[in-house]
Structure 1
Amino acid sequence: MTDISTDHGSVLPPDAAALVVDASGDISFLLPDYPATAEVPRMVQLLAAVLLRSRDEEWVEEMLADLADAPRS
């Protein structure tokens, strides 16, 4: 049986990483417990990069404009 962590009704598998935005717009970065010698997966590194760039209001506005311009399927 898998040990699942829950918080306010959400479930994140124990080996998953996530950026979470709460209702007030605050961002949390959730990481599994990687061994000290483990390489952090590339897509987890991408989440960390997005978190860092999220402090740059100009970049955020540019990303939101790109999203608004993207075709919807």
Structure 2
Amino acid sequence: MSTSASQGGRGPTISTSASQGGRGPTVIEIPAGAAGLSKTSFAVCHQVTTLDRAKLTKRVGALPGEVLEEVELALKAAMDLE
């Protein structure tokens, strides 16, 4: 996870590459404490945005494997990928 200055403010971002998995919900809860986050956050996988890597300001942590898997599944569902 990184922080970025985008969409009018700073916030956590998730950098992704190819995803795998099946269909499911497209909003994934990321609990406080995971990936260095101070409060509960959400990965809104149906609102995918591209970012210039230069806008990423610092790395704050990494998602736990089980949360990353949920995000990958949600991205696949949101993009209707098999």
Give TM-score scaled by structure 1 length. 0.34
Greater helix share, 1 or 2?
1
Greater strand share, 1 or 2?
2
Q: Indicate the structure whose relative CO is greater, using CA pairs within 8 Å and at least 6 residues apart.
A: 2
Q: From the CA coordinates, give the structure whose radius of gyration is larger.
A: 1
Give TM-score scaled by structure 2 length. 0.31
